[in-house]
Structure 1
Amino acid sequence: MRTDYDVIIVGARIAGATLAYELGQAGYKVLLVDKGRFPSDVLSTHNLFNNSLAMLREMGVLDKLLATGTPTYKQAYVQLEDAVIKGIFPEVNGESECLCIRRTYLDRILFEHACSLECVHALQQFRVTALLREGEVVTGVEGIESGGEAVQYKAKLVVGADGRRSTIRSLAGSKCLASIPTDFASYVGYFKGFCQENEPCTEFYKLGERIAIVFPTSDQLHVVGLMFPLANADLASRMKANAETVFREVIQSGFGETSFALRFQKAEAAGPIRGLLGYDNDWHEAMGKGWALIGDALSFKDPAVGQGMHDAMYSARLLKEVLASHGLENFQWEKMAAQYESELTDKCQPLFQVACEMTRNVPYTPEQNMVNRLIAAHPRATSAFLGMYNHANGPGELGRLIGEMLSQ
């Protein structure tokens, strides 16, 4: 096995596998490593809006994902206090359907898709322990292989695609540029026998201090997310002791006047309820001398905005374009980093800011309730609201439209 590569990617899930495929297609020699082994699950809401499906189709992997039988959807039902927003996600790049596919399928299929390329070599159960350096420039990794042997691999660039607790980010010394702690605990479970009222859709509820999210997913299941304030220590303690029972109690008490709560009574858990007790919405320095970050290693944001999967794929594809425009020889790290940071900021920062707002447990003001009712009542505003989430338009476009409506 060779020990010298163009790019080493640490983390082989959606961000890392996407980058490995894109670079392999371009002829780069890639080493893709992961501390785990596929297929394996990970705590995630794993939703892909139709703009992300457009990227998957361009990669030639969408048909493999659809072959799992995971249902697609194109509608949303959003209840924000007394405002009910119902509509269809705007089409993006010819794609109208969204997909919430389980990570056991998604990550394995993307990993195998990347590894099918001759330029991509993969190592599973490989744990990075250090970065190699020549002066200030990162030149490779040192790690432990599955058999316990310590080895070194060299590359012109090392990429951290290893999640929100990224080892590469820490070893590289990437600066944290923004960090907004959430006010919520977040729990996720899979359920069978949950029926939606019409065709498959995503459901989102924010009533008082509680949030619930539903997506149709693989294996004839629905994934249900539940969020409540971290400050409710008694509830968090009870959830630890008996997660499913308390999960159901919170849904019935918090959303009891909705059809969601009634339909959920008939659903049966298809596995354990898993939770995340506190997290930061963060944004880190994206590139330095010999290293770069993509996906959650770069920026983790509140799962309620559903942007993690898109940002993983987008940052991977953007990094490939940055490398293509500068080449792999005689790196101009400052120029490359500036281009990468600038384009990431333009594309991903608006919804990062939305996530930072959503992660705060602050009641809607009377003015915001009025705006939500306005969005619900006008199809153009509904389309622009849903279009924020699939990048058909930005939050600014929705704000301008609301301003026009209020001024009439």
Structure 2
Amino acid sequence: MRTDYDVIIVGARIAGATLAYELGRAGYDVLLVDKGSFPSDVLSTHNFFNNSLAMLREMGVLDKLLSTGTPTYKRAYVQLEDAVIEGEFPEVDGESECLCIRRTHLDHILFEHVCSLERVHALQHFRVTGLVREEDIVKGVEGSQSGGETVKYTAKLVVGADGRRSTIRSLAGSKCLTAIPTEFASYVGYFKGFEQEDEPRSEFYKRGELIAIVFPTSDHLHVVGLMFPLANADLMSRMRLNAETGFREIIQSGLGESSFVSRLQEAEAVGPIRGLLGYDNDWHEAMGKGWALIGDAHSFKDPAIGQGMHDAMYSARLLKGVLDNHGLANVQWEKMASQYESELTNKFEPLFQLACEMTRNVPYTPEQQAVNHLIATYPQAACAFLGMYNHANDPGELGRLLGEISSNRESMTRLM
């Protein structure tokens, strides 16, 4: 087996596999490694809004993903205290359907698809233990294979696609530029027999200190998320005592007037309830001499905002564009890093800031709830609100639309 490549990608799930596909198709020689094997599961919201489906289709994997029987959906039901926002996600790039596919299917299909490319070589069960350097430039990785032997591989660029606790980020010395601690505990469970009215849809509830999220997913299941303040010792105690019982009781007490509660009571939990506690919304330095980061390795944000899959794929695409622009011979690392960081900021920073707001346990002010009611009242505002999540528009566009609606309402009131 060869030991020298153009690019080594550490982490072979959604971010790493996407980048390997992009680079392999463009003629780069790629080594893709992962400490695990496929198929396997990982704690994740695993939702793709319709703006990301176009890229899956371009990669040639969408039909394979849909063949798993995972349902698609177009609509969203959002309840913010007593304001209910309903509607369809705006169409993006000709795609109208969203897809929440389990990682056991997603990562395996992507991995096999990428491994079929001539220029991509993949290794499972390879754990990176160090970086190869020449002076201050990263030139490769060293690590251990399943048999225990230590191996070194060299490359012009090493990319960390290895998640929110990235080994490459740590070894490269990437600086943390922003870290906003969450004030919530986040739990996820899969349920069989959870019924939805009319057609599949995403559901989001925020009442008091409680947030609950639902997506239709693979294997005839729904994935249900629950978030509540870490500081609530009583709720934390219930989850520690019995995770499923606590999960159900907390949702029932917090959302007792919702049909969601009765539908969840009739559903059967499949597998354990799993939790994520004490995480940050963070943003790290994205590139240095000989290394770069994509996906959660670069920036992790609150799962409630549902941007992880999108950001993993699009950060891979942005990095590939930067490499095409600069090449990997006689690289001016500072110039390349500046362009990459600028493009990441332009693409992801608005929703990163929204995630930082969502992760704070702060009740809606009367003014904020009035805005929520305004969005719920006007279909064009509801469409713009949902369009923030699939990048059909940015938060600023929603603000401008609400300003126009408020101005028109005031004009009508004066005329009356």
> Shorter-normalised TM-score: what interval?
over 0.9
SS at match of 1:225: strand
Aligned residue runs from structure 1 range 116-265, under 5 A? 116-265=116-265
Match of 1:71 in 2: 71
Tell me by how many angstroms 1:162 deviates.
Answer: 0.3
**Distance across 1 between alignment mates of 2:366 and 2:293:** 40
Tell me by how many angstroms 1:98 deviates.
Answer: 0.1
- Higher mean displacement: 88-97 or 320-329: 320-329
**Distance across 2 between alignment mates of 1:317 and 1:241:** 44
Aligned residue runs from structure 1 range 1-400, under 5 A? 1-400=1-400
**Distance across 1 between alignment mates of 2:241 and 2:140:** 44
SS at match of 2:198: coil
**Distance across 2 between alignment mates of 1:355 and 1:63:** 31
**Distance across 2 between alignment mates of 1:373 and 1:26:** 48
**Distance across 2 between alignment mates of 1:163 and 1:336:** 22
Tell me by how many angstroms 1:157 deviates.
Answer: 0.1
Q: TM-score, normalised by structure 2?
A: 0.97
**Distance across 2 between alignment mates of 1:396 and 1:172:** 36
SS at match of 1:318: helix
Q: Unaligned 5+ residue runs, structure 2?
A: 409-416
SS at match of 1:272: strand
- Higher mean displacement: 226-235 or 213-222: 226-235
Q: Unaligned 5+ residue runs, structure 1?
A: none
Tell me by how many angstroms 1:233 deviates.
Answer: 2.1
Deviations 1:70-104 (A, max 9, x none): 00000000000010000000000000000000000
Tell me by how many angstroms 1:403 deviates.
Answer: 1.3
Tell me by how many angstroms 1:238 deviates.
Answer: 2.4
Tell me by how many angstroms 1:198 deviates.
Answer: 1.5
- Higher mean displacement: 106-115 or 233-242: 233-242
**Distance across 1 between alignment mates of 2:294 and 2:17:** 11
Query: Structure 1: which amino acid aligns with 2:127?
Result: R
**Distance across 1 between alignment mates of 2:222 and 2:17:** 25
- Higher mean displacement: 124-133 or 227-236: 227-236
**Distance across 2 between alignment mates of 1:192 and 1:398:** 36
- Identity over aligned pairs, percent: 82
SS at match of 1:274: strand
**Distance across 2 between alignment mates of 1:235 and 1:77:** 26
Query: Structure 2: which amino acid aligns with 1:362?
Result: V
Deviations 1:26-80 (A, max 9, x none): 0110000000010000001100000010111111111110010000000000000
Regions of 4+ moved over 3 Å: none
**Distance across 1 between alignment mates of 2:115 and 2:349:** 31
Tell me by how many angstroms 1:142 deviates.
Answer: 0.5
Deviations 1:95-118 (A, max 9, x none): 000000000000001111111101
How many residues of Structure 1 are paired with residues of Structure 2 in the alignment?
A: 408
Tell me by how many angstroms 1:332 deviates.
Answer: 1.1
**Distance across 1 between alignment mates of 2:312 and 2:61:** 16
Q: TM-score, normalised by structure 1?
A: 0.99
Tell me by how many angstroms 1:241 deviates.
Answer: 2.3
Tell me by how many angstroms 1:235 deviates.
Answer: 1.7
Query: Structure 2: which amino acid aligns with 1:280?
Result: D
Tell me by how many angstroms 1:335 deviates.
Answer: 1.2
**Distance across 1 between alignment mates of 2:2 and 2:335:** 30
**Distance across 2 between alignment mates of 1:256 and 1:237:** 20
- Higher mean displacement: 161-170 or 330-339: 330-339
Query: Structure 2: which amino acid aligns with 1:227?
Result: M
